Structures are given as C-alpha cells and as structure tokens.
Chains A and B, each alone.
Chain A
C-alpha cells in the first residue's frame, strides 16, 4: 500500500496534486522544487517482484529516497513516482521488461521529503531457471545535458 504524503515530512514550500497509481489507488502527492544531486560513484539498486512490489533496496536507495527500508519493502515501486514524469515513460518501461528486454531511461524521482532527484536507470528482468522472478533496476548518475533535455521533453509527453 502507498499512504498519502504527510505535510510533516515535507521540507520547504510545496505544491499538492493527486496521482492515480497502480491503476486505481489515488495518492496525495506533496512536492517541492528542491533537487538532491546524485552522489558520485554510487549505484542505486532495487529489485521488485513480477508485479512491481519492492523486495530489495540497497543503502544508496534508502539514502536518496528518504524513506526507511521497512517503509520501502513491500511497497509498490510507484512510491517514487514524481508528478512531472509522463505515464508513457513507465508504460514503455513495463512493456519492454515484460518482453524480456532491458529498459534504459532518465527518471525524475520523488523523495519522501517532497524533493526530487534525477537518475539514469536500467531495468532488467531477473530470469532464474527460465522464469522471470522479478525485476532489478540499477541507477547511475545522469549527465546534466541529459537531465536538461528530459526536463524540456517530458512536459510535452502528457
């Protein structure tokens, strides 16, 4: 389950919007214009089950998202869904990995404190004994040029 974002968690001036997640759930999103820059030399890693429920996160994931590990495990990955991300990006992600292929793209993620961070993400299916048992996403630091391009492009994709 994903709870609404709470005012007491937010740092700085925020806007409010409602997002339809996971097909049906409506989540109240509070978000700010404060960016956290991607830490040099680190990878942010998470794994989900076949339905997109988080089953593993590494320490960098916890640090960057602002959530505790126990808040992340068992939550849908859309807990990081930022309102500025166009839904087509995630449709493409899911279509690609469900075909058994690798997906790569630039994602603006939402932190628990309402702030955001950009990543370059690669998502692959985890195939064990011929079966897809889940998906793993590994994020690395994106270049500023790519982030600027996506910041211009994404608003046109809604």
Chain B
C-alpha cells in the first residue's frame, strides 16, 4: 500500500526541495511507501482531498475545518512557535496612514493563500471594505503583489508577514505597512488522514524526536524551522472554530 503526502501550495519556493528531503526521511523512518505530490494551486489540491487521494498533508489553516470535519483528518504537529500573520501594505508615497481612510473602490492585490487573504480582508473592514466594494487584483506570489504596489497598479497589498519580511530591503523601502496582524493562534499544521491514523502516535513521536538528532535537524533546517510541536485535537478544534468566526 502506498500513501500520498501533499503540502499546502503556499509553501515558500525555497523550501520545495526541503519537502522532498523530509518525505524521504519520513519513508525511511516509518518504513511506509509515501509519495509526495505537489499541487499547483489550492483548487487542484482540494479536488484530490475530496477524491480521498491524500493521506498526509501540511495544511493551510483555511482547509483545516474541511479536512477534520468532512474528511476525518487529525492534527499531528506544527512548526514550533510559528503562526500565520497578515500585513496591509501600501506604496510608501501613499499619504494614507490609517486603514480607516481607505475608500470603496480601493484596488487590493493578494495571492490565492486563503488564510492570509481572509485575515487581510478583516483588517480592511474598519474602512467598510469587503469583497463587494474592492477591486480585486490577484497575483501569483508576494513579489508580484509588491510590484503591483510599486507600479501603482494596486492601492493596497495583503501579504503573509513572513513573505513581506523576506522581500529585499530595496523593495521594502518603497512600501509602507499600515497594519500587522497579531493573532498568533492561526497556523499551518501537518495532518493525517483516516488510512494512516493507526500510526498517528508513532509518527508524532518520530517527528517530535527529529530535533534531537543531527540528521533530523538537517532535514528540519531545509524546511525553515528547528523543531515540531504537537497539535492536539482541542487546539485544532479551537483553530477551526476561530477560522469559522472569521469566515463571516
């Protein structure tokens, strides 16, 4: 029997090889045949989940409710100390200093990352902006969101905080952050599907001991963090409830 592993399409391109290395490590440690399948976008990944093709997923928080409540997934771990935060950014030359000053018809650039977009839209609500009165501009990645702002083709950009922080100093010097979210309880998580659930504890133990050996440390480094942290069922349920309140 072989299992399919997939990663939320919003992973940082720098970490693509890291996920393949992680998958090789996981197969060796568990003795399971696990195939890593990378989908190009959330839409095709969700279709694969609906078709029960996915057994293990590094999931975007936006998809957690569907995975747990409709597909019987359970949480394993998250990157230690990590949370997804969003930023509202404008061109540095824009006189706006408070989100509340933005007007209906504002051109808002974002990527398809569903959790970041949701958090970003919530931070635009103080200006009475919503999906019905903004001009949406979708971009393939955050560098392109920044370019839209620099070329004045968008008024506001919604960024994943990490992605914004990784932009070059040159680009950042031409931009201005209006708001940075401080939510701290919304995060990606590695989750396990029904077919693998009898291995949940074993896999969790393996993942938790990764940071204790040199080989495991190297694998984690390629993913961009230094250790995993257990996500228990209640933490996941709480995050799902929270996303549910935001999704209205």
Contacts and interface: CB of A to CB of B under 8 A. Distances in A.
B100 A41 contact: no
A104 B183 contact: no
A33 interface: no
Interface residues of A, number: 26
Given A138-B246, A146-B128, A126 B241 contact: yes
Contact of A144 (B100, B179, B242): B100
Nearest to B244: A124
Contacts of B40: none
A96 to B, nearest CB: 12
Nearest to B186: A43
Contacts, number: 64
A89 B242 CA distance: 22
Contact of A41 (B181, B238, B245, B246): B181
Interface residues of B, number: 24
Contacts of A45: 185, 242
Contact of A102 (B180, B183, B234, B245): B245
Contacts of A128: 234, 237
B196 interface: no
B243 to A, nearest CB: 10
B232 interface: no
Interface in B166-184: 178-183
Contacts of B241: 124, 126, 136
Interface of A: 38, 40-43, 45, 58, 60, 102, 104, 120, 122-124, 126, 128, 136-138, 140-146
Ordered nearest first, which 5 A-B pairs have the shortest CB separation? A122-B245, A138-B245, A41-B181, A41-B179, A143-B128
Interface of B: 99-100, 122-123, 125-128, 178-183, 185, 234, 237-238, 241-242, 244-246, 248
